[in-house]
């Protein structure tokens, strides 16, 4: 199934709405979908939305493909490579929502430059997200949460949507759980949920 669902980058500008047989009302992006539980659940709940999932590890891609086949999902496309390559190929203001859930925290200081949430990636996300688009981040690694908040709030293109502690301590009902979150809960570790909105372009 992967060849039929795979997103190809040929050096030009990728038009995400054209990836789907039926024109979607919106395009949502998930960076690092892991086993695909969240992505598949969102696609099933929102058949009117086109989903692009990025995941370089083939085991996760295979698990998502099983969910696509099992649930007859027609609104998922897969980029089985580094998400930053896809971001570079997308046109400005072409994505309506983005999820980066439980990415590798790269906890050692010498590896922190590999973190997906970085000034460069936030620049790319600010470019491809539409005005008022939602960016959702999550992690069970507290130092990485601080890193996410520091860089995303400091970037200037994103407003943190939290109004109280429950907004980051409790997963919203329209936010399906991932296996990484469940593993953290098994270890007795709380997860943190961050929602940002892309500020309108001035």
Nearest partner of 34 among 177, 187, 202, judged by Cα: 177
Residue 176 three-state SS: coil
Residues with pLDDT less than 50, the chain: none
- Domains detected in the chain: 2-198 (3.40.50.150)
* Residue 45 pLDDT: 97
Catalytically active residues, by annotation: 104
Q: What is the DSSP letter of 133?
A: E
Nearest partner of 192 among 97, 82, 64, 105, judged by Cα: 105
How many Å apart are CA 119 and CA 154, to the nearest integer? 9
Question: What is the token pair recorded at 73?
Answer: 């999902």
Q: What is the mean pLDDT of the chain?
A: 94
- pTM of the model as a whole: 0.95
* Residue 128 pLDDT: 98
How many Å apart are CA 39 and CA 178, to the nearest integer? 9
Question: What DSSP string describes 8-24?
Answer: ---SS---GGGGSSSPP
Host H or E run for residue 198 = strand 192-198
* Residue 107 pLDDT: 81
Sign of CA dihedral 80, 147, 161, 125: negative
């Amino acid at each position: 199934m992967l060849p039929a669902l795979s997103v190809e980058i040929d050096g030009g500008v990728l038009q995400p709405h054209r990836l789907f047989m039926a024109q979607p009302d919106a395009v949502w992006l998930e960076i690092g979908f892991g086993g695909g539980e969240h992505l598949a659940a969102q696609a099933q709940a929102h058949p009117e939305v086109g989903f692009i999932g990025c995941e370089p590890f083939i085991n996760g891609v295979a698990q998502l493909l099983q969910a696509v086949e099992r649930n007859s999902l027609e609104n998922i496309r897969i980029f089985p490579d580094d998400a930053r390559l896809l971001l570079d190929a997308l046109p400005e203001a072409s994505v309506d929502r983005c999820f980066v859930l439980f990415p590798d925290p790269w906890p050692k200081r010498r590896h922190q430059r590999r973190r997906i949430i970085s000034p460069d990636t936030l620049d790319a996300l600010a470019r491809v997200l539409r005005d008022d688009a939602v960016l959702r981040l999550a992690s069970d690694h507290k130092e990485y949460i601080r890193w996410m908040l520091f860089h995303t709030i400091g970037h200037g293109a994103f407003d943190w949507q939290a109004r109280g502690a429950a907004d980051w301590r409790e997963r919203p009902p329209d936010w399906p759980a991932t296996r990484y979150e469940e593993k953290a809960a098994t270890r007795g570790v709380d997860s943190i949920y961050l929602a940002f909105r892309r500020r309108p372009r001035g």
